[in-house]
Amino acid sequence: MSTNYSVTFYNDTNEPKVVHFCIYQSYPELPGLKTVAWKEAGVYRGGKSEVTWKIAYNAMICEYHDDGGRYTNSQSCNANLKDEFEVTDKDGTQVLDYFDSKGSEGTISICNSSNEKAKVGIGVDKSLAIVVPDVDGNIKTVFKITPTYYVAAYEDLKKGQVISEVGLIDHPLELKFTPGKTKAEAHLEQVGNSLKLSLKTND
C-alpha cells in the first residue's frame, strides 16, 4: 500500500492577504525543463490548509494556458520506473501511449513521434510537477526520477504555474521525510519587518 504524505500550511502573519503556499519538485536539468507549482494552497492570515499525496508517477502530455501562464495535463498515464511512452497523432490529436519498459534504471521516457511539437511532463499523484515544452518530433525526453521536494510561499500563485515566474516570499525550504515520518508543518510568521518561512516534520 502506498504511503500517504501531508504538509499543513499555516499563515501566522497579521497581514490581511492570502499567502499562496506550494510544494514543487526539482529534477535533474534537461533542455527547456520547467518546474511548476505541484501542490498549492491559499491561506489567509490566521488560517491553515493541508495538502496530501502518494508517490505514484505519471507520464503526461501538457497544455499551456495564457490566462495565468500555467500548464495542465491534457492526458495522463500511470508510469513506473523504466517505462517508455510515445506521443503519436490520432485523428488530428496528440495522444500518449505506453510503449515498453526497457528504459534506463530510474527513468521515465517520452518519445514524440507525432508530426507536431509536444509538451511532455512528469506528474506525481496525478498532478503535473515538471514540463518540457516544444519537444520536436522524433525526440525522446528521458526524465531522471530523482526529485527533490521544496516548500515555498508566494505572493500570488496558481497550480501549474512556472515557479520562477512568480514573486517569492522568503526562500524555499527543502522538504525531507526521515524514515517513519509522513507529516510536516510549514509556518509563515512575521519576524520584525520580514516574513519568515519555517518547516518541521511531525510523527
For residue 1, the model assigns a pLDDT of 62
State residue 203's pLDDT score: 63
What is the percent of the chain where pLDDT is above 70? 99
46, 177, 187, 200, 203 from 21: Cα distances, Å = 14, 18, 10, 15, 22
Query: What is the predicted pLDDT for the residue at 97?
Result: 97
Domain hosting residue 175, numbered range: 4-202
Q: What is the pLDDT of residue 9?
A: 98
Q: What is the DSSP letter of 3?
A: P
Quote the pLDDT of residue 19. Answer: 96
- Below-50 pLDDT ranges, the chain: none
**Do strands 127-135 and 118-124 pair parallel, antiparallel, or not at all (unpaired)?**
antiparallel
Number of domains in the chain: 1
Residues, the chain: 203
